Amino acid sequence: MRLSLHTVVPRVWTVELRPRAGGPLLVCPRCAPRAVSLQASAAKSDALRHLAAHARGDALAGHLRTCQCRQRECRWHPRHRGCAGPIRLVLARDRAGRNWRLADACTACARAIPYAAVVPDTATDMAVPGEGDGCVRPQRAATSPGLPSATRVREMLAYLAAALPACTSAAARLVALQCALRVDGEGSVTLADGITRSMRLGHLHVIWHELEQAAWLRSDPSAQRFRRFDLLDPSVLTQVPGRRARAQAADWALRQTCRPAVRRQRAVARLVALQIAACTDDHGRGSIETIHLTRTAGISSVAAATLLDQLARVGALDRWQLDPATDEVRWTSRPC
């Protein structure tokens, strides 16, 4: 069978950030050993950049890509629900952040893999142009410009959950989301005063500092009135959808966090409200696995429950419940 011929293509790339005095060493099984240590603060960015380069080099048409997790009998995640959904590029790390893996996986497996996130709409898109055989191309379908802003925001929040340190504050996550969606082709982003005002975040300089410490962005000291930054995350720099579509998603996210019900809440409550809005369907119903909610907001499950109660009290959602069978949070809310 034609497809089985292609399943030998190992669309899995790994690197190890091996601790060493003077900074971690990037060890890639496919590349010659390196002698130079990395700066600890930039090591993660370097690892991601290295993995992305391998993925670009091993380009494969979308319809030939298969779930690499399934090919390993789904050993990457605890429960097996069966493969489903489009094949995406999934970034995963181990608990300690030492081993990093970029791989093709179906959407269902991607959701089940711990410490993993779908790499959103990136230039590591493997579809080979000019193939018109009518096969489904999941990656293309997933990155079509018609995607609603909510989906783009949801994917970016999930990606940032893997790309940013677990201890990143909710305020910094909200800022990172705006930066990632508004970045230009050169990797620069300018947050006008109006945007930062709408975000209602005090101590902005502390937030910039936090993201700089995570080696996620670098501020441009020459920018005065506007806040200008260079983003250092290679996956965010190479998004395929145009700036307009991404800016629309950023505006949508801003509107969600400026709704009367949540405007005066703390940043962490606004972040959870945004996640809820991004996962709510046209009928006002939504669900999300608890582990994804807690990871994207950087909070514990107990804190998530408290925040959901709080959001229900202020009218941001009608009611919510935890489904113990699937470990999903489900809710209903009125469209805003």
Nearest residue (CB) to Zn ion, 74 versus 249: 74
Beta bridge partners of 13: 102
Nearest residue (CB) to Zn ion, 61 versus 105: 105
> 3-class SS at 320?
strand
Q: In the complex, what is the shortest distance from the CB of residue 141 to Zn ion, in angstroms, rounded to a whole number?
A: 17
The residues of the shown chain that bind Zn ion, judged by CB under 5 A, are 28, 30-31, 67, 69-70, 74, 83, 106, 109
Nearest residue (CB) to Zn ion, 15 versus 179: 15
Q: In the complex, what is the shortest distance from the CB of residue 84 to Zn ion, in angstroms, rounded to a whole number?
A: 7
- HSE-CB at 55 with a 13 A cutoff on CA atoms is 30
Nearest residue (CB) to Zn ion, 13 versus 159: 13
Q: In the complex, what is the shortest distance from the CB of residue 46 to Zn ion, in angstroms, rounded to a whole number?
A: 11
User: In angstroms, what is the C-alpha Rg of the chain?
Assistant: 20
Nearest residue (CB) to Zn ion, 64 versus 304: 64
Which of 229, 169, 161 is closest to 195 using CA atoms? 229
Q: In the complex, what is the shortest distance from the CB of residue 110 to Zn ion, in angstroms, rounded to a whole number?
A: 8
Q: In the complex, what is the shortest distance from the CB of residue 166 to Zn ion, in angstroms, rounded to a whole number?
A: 23
Which strands sit side by side in the sheet containing 217-219, from one edge to the other?
188-191, 227-231, 217-219
The three state secondary structure string of 43-100 is HHHHHHHHHHHHHHHCCCCHHHCCCHHHHCCCCCCCCCCCCCCCEEEEEEECCCCCEE
Give how far Cα 93 sits from Cα of 76, 163, 316, Å: 11, 10, 33
